[in-house]
A and B are shown apart, each in its own frame.
Chain A
């Protein structure tokens, strides 16, 4: 456990110094919200706008997660640390980055789309957090894949987003219900699917990350 905390602290320090992930994610998110609002700023489109923004923001923001100038992964691999902990720590850090962007985006959605985001904020936190986690879980695994195969960063959206679709649909379903004022019980089905997605892919991620990183 202490290892994970150490790794998370290291990743957070790295991220704080460069702010690369949050910045690129934030800028893409800002751009998307504005473009989507300019196209059609309807309250009913808010869930779709939110999750398109977060999904593409994450896909762009995560692309350079393991880039060597940013994070000496090779040095870390020499350390006597369980490989899967590296993955867990990265997921935690990236999840925090996504949450920061989500929080920062709320005033924009509130102003451009619908003020109900504020009214339902406590309930809204659930799909935002669970959905954000799914982005981090899947995104971290595919980032590692891209770096290890020296593929272009631009491939991350192509690889990551199809896998993300069930989670995004569930997140949008839950968000729609909550913004309409439905009780949590009504959207429980979507949240359960989201939670199952998170658990399934986090487990798979832990196992597969080791495979990708090992030489």
Chain B
């Protein structure tokens, strides 16, 4: 655990420094393009978190093991965190470079939808404690993921202002190596930090569950 935490912080610091100081300035966009080193890793991590929520929710609905529920909850909280970061950094990147804080294109819209859906997940958890609430939230966790294919379909169908994928394309990334490296470092940093926080959070839930059991059982 200590190792994971140290590793994540080291990676985050390296990524931060590289992104702000070492990476080259982009020719057309200028300095604001450095936000990419936050925005893209945030998106990747958000999707990783959502994948965990989905799988954990499905497993919880199938097995009814509370461990899966705890994992889903921890991942959902982090998903909302990283989606928020994605939306805000995206807006801050868009304003100087494309002249607008927001546009109703497919990708932005669906990311916003996902934010609402997983906030809903957390609201249900908060206001409906216990096994029923856990099951209901798991249902939401699964439904939210079903939205994701709609994201990709609508990106292809509807014309969009959001830049066409430059990294995750079938032909391979279109970024120069000097930018690809810091991007990869930051992505690795974010994902490692995500794993660290996820583990920490799940452990806290587990300890809390045990304590509640002891306190309620003893009385």
Contacts and interface: CB of A to CB of B under 8 A. Distances in A.
B61 A211 contact: yes
Contact of B124 (A151, A162, A200): A151
Interface stretch (A3-11, A67-75, A76-84, A163-171): A163-171
A160 B4 CA distance: 38
Contact of B113 (A145, A162, A189, A201): A162
B168 interface: no
A30 interface: no
Nearest to B133: A149
A130 to B, nearest CB: 15
B136 A145 contact: yes
Contacts of B127: 149, 151-152, 155
A155 B147 CA distance: 20
Contact of B117 (A141, A149, A162, A212): A162
B142 A204 contact: yes
Given A148-B132, A158-B120, A162-B117, A208 B143 contact: yes
Given A151-B128, A155-B123, A212 B142 contact: no
A149 B132 contact: yes
A162 B128 CA distance: 20
Nearest to B114: A162
Contacts of B143: 141, 163, 201, 204, 208
Nearest to A214: B135
A193 B157 contact: yes
Interface in A157-208: 158-159, 161-163, 165-166, 169, 189, 193, 196-197, 200-201, 204, 208
Nearest to A169: B109
A145 B146 CA distance: 17
Interface in A131-164: 141, 145, 148-152, 155, 158-159, 161-163
B: contact size bracket? 20 to 34
A158 B136 contact: no
Contacts of A211: 61, 135, 138-139
A163 B147 contact: yes
A169 B151 CA distance: 12
Main secondary structure of the interface of A (DSSP, over half): helix
Contact of A165 (B109, B140, B153): B109
Contacts of B117: 162-163
A115 B146 CA distance: 37
Interface in B110-131: 110, 113, 116-117, 120, 123-124, 127-128
Given A189-B157, A212-B135, A162 B150 contact: no
B154 interface: yes
A189 B153 CA distance: 11
A208 B116 CA distance: 20
A165 B123 CA distance: 19
Nearest to B150: A166
Given A155-B127, A165-B109, 16 more contacts: A141-B139, A141-B143, A145-B139, A149-B132, A150-B128, A151-B124, A151-B127, A151-B136, A152-B127, A161-B116, A162-B120, A163-B117, A163-B147, A189-B157, A196-B153, A201-B146
17 contacts: A149-B128, A149-B133, A151-B124, A151-B136, A155-B120, A162-B113, A162-B116, A162-B117, A165-B109, A166-B147, A169-B154, A193-B157, A200-B146, A201-B143, A208-B139, A208-B143, A211-B61
Q: What 4 A-B pairs are tightest by C-beta distance, nearest first?
A: A162-B116, A149-B128, A166-B150, A149-B136
